[in-house]
Amino acid sequence: MYKIGLIVNPIAGMGGRVGLKGTDGETILQKAKNLGAIALSPKRTSAALEILLAIKNNLKMITCPSDMGENEAVNCGFVPEIISGIRTEETTFKDTQKAACIMRDHSVDLLLFAGGDGTARDIYTSIGKTLPVIGIPTGVKIHSSVFASSPHKAGKLALLYLQKKLHKLKEVEVMDIDEQAFRNGIVKTMLFGYLKVPYERRYIQGGKLGSSPSDEIIQKAIAEDIIENMNNDFLYIIGPGTTTRAIMQRLHLNYTLLGVDAVYKKELIGLDLNESELLKLINKKKKVKLIITPIGGQGYIFGRGNQQLSPQVIWNVKRENIIIVATHNKIISLKRYSLLVDTGDLSLDRALGGYAQIVTNYHERTVYKVEF
């Protein structure tokens, strides 16, 4: 018997149709409703669930009451088990977070959730990487790779995973933008963490199609290149991200995925360092290299998700000692836009602008533009 959890964010997507660029926050939700917004989640969730009807008799579905999953499941013909402790009206992100924790405690094989980037954040905040998840894209903002490229594909992916036709899990970025800033015309995308999703190239948003090896293989090749060129006289500061993590894994060192770590003579000497700790280390070791990777889809190398790498840290490291690592998939995800810097120090941003050589594979560099 397969066991699946289902959480639907019933208000996801409502802000989009009425031009509000998102539905985070009660005031915005009310505004969306006043503008005549209709709920998109039910229909899109049903499109995914219909695929799972193929295994209905072997599927135990656990979901939230009312329009957070029960309605969609029942309408599709499932007889779900409804969890308790979740409100049935005027639900908020807290209900999503609570429901995710309950699903985890029920040991579901897979958590299917419908929503947008805000919902993905809530799932990440509550359960992290403890469960494999698949996002059904119903929200306004879909920057996170956790979402399937369509509701239909979310259902297909879930089916393949539950039937054990698909075994591979991939950590993907949970991204969200600052909605308030976005409404003022400023796109500020932030990396919040990583979720584990069943991975099949053709189903995941931004997932690479075609016939090349996946990023995981290329990340290992990049790590090999970096380690081959490591000089024991230098301190290596390792920025956040899965591409840089591959270096730490290759060195068999502990690491923080979202933090900044330090390596000297191929040994870990600092974990999850803040700005002042970094400055102390830099002053002590003098010779320093900084290894960073851009955030997929938007290209920031400084100023998003790695604020520990402050202008002072970067000035001290010096531009020629910055090593950028990224797979071609990540570069392509920028849709031909440049790498970006936004350190808060305009003169530094200017100094970092121009062209950089990105390590994109073993013994391979891609020359790419950096803008501010």
Partner 1 sequence: MKYNPKIHEQLVNSDKIAEMHPYQDESTSQGLLEIMYKTEQLFKEISGLDRFSLHPGGGAHGIYTISSIIWAYHKSRGEEDKRNEIITTAFSHPADAAAPRVKGYKIRIIYPDENGYPDIEALKEAVSEHTSALFITNPEDTGIFNSKIAKFTKIVHDVGGFCAYDQANANGLLGITRAKEANFDLIFYNLHKTFSSPHGCGGPGAGIVGVTEKLAKFLPVPVVDYNKKNDNYFLDYNRPDSIGKVKDFYGVIPVILRAYAWIMSLGAEGLREVSNVAILNNNYAMKKILELRGASMAFPEHKCRIEQVRYSWQKLTEETGITTEDIQRRVFDFGTHYWTSHEPWLIPEPFTIEPSESYSKDDIDEFVAILGQIVKEAYESPEKVKNAPHKSSVHRISYDVLDAPSKWAITWRAYRKKYKGYFQHK
Q: Which stretch binds partner 1 (CB under 8 A): 94-102, 210-218, 252-260, 288-296?
A: 210-218
Contact call for residue 229 and partner 1 (CB under 8 A): no
Contact call for residue 54 and partner 1 (CB under 8 A): no
Q: Report the 3 state secondary structure along 278-342.
A: HHHHHHHHCCEEEEECCCCCCCEEECCCCCCCCHHHHHHHCHHHEEEECCHHHHHCCCCCCEEEC
Hey, what are 346's tokens?
A: 């305009």
Nearer to partner 1, 69 or 116 (CB): 116
CB of 45 to partner 1, least distance (A): 17
Nearer to partner 1, 1 or 209 (CB): 209
Count the neighbouring beta carbons within 10 Å of the beta carbon of residue 344: 12
Nearer to partner 1, 45 or 308 (CB): 45
Asked if residue 140 lies in contact with residue 22, where contact means CB atoms within 8 angstroms, the answer is yes
Contact call for residue 217 and partner 1 (CB under 8 A): yes
Nearer to partner 1, 321 or 329 (CB): 329
CB of 187 to partner 1, least distance (A): 19
Please list every residue from 248 through 307 that binds partner 1, using CB under 8 A. Answer: none
List 153, 245, 289, 304, residue binding partner 1 (CB under 8 A): 153
Asked if residue 220 lies in contact with residue 268, where contact means CB atoms within 8 angstroms, the answer is no
Q: Cα separation of 118 and 142, whole Å?
A: 9
Q: DSSP characters for 39-80?
A: --HHHHHHHHHHHHGGGGGGEEEEEBSGGGBHHHHHHHT--P
Contact call for residue 372 and partner 1 (CB under 8 A): no
Which residues would be at the binding site for partner 1 (CB under 8 A)? 149-150, 152-153, 168, 201-202, 208-214, 216-217, 328-329, 331-332, 336, 354-355, 357, 360-361, 363-369
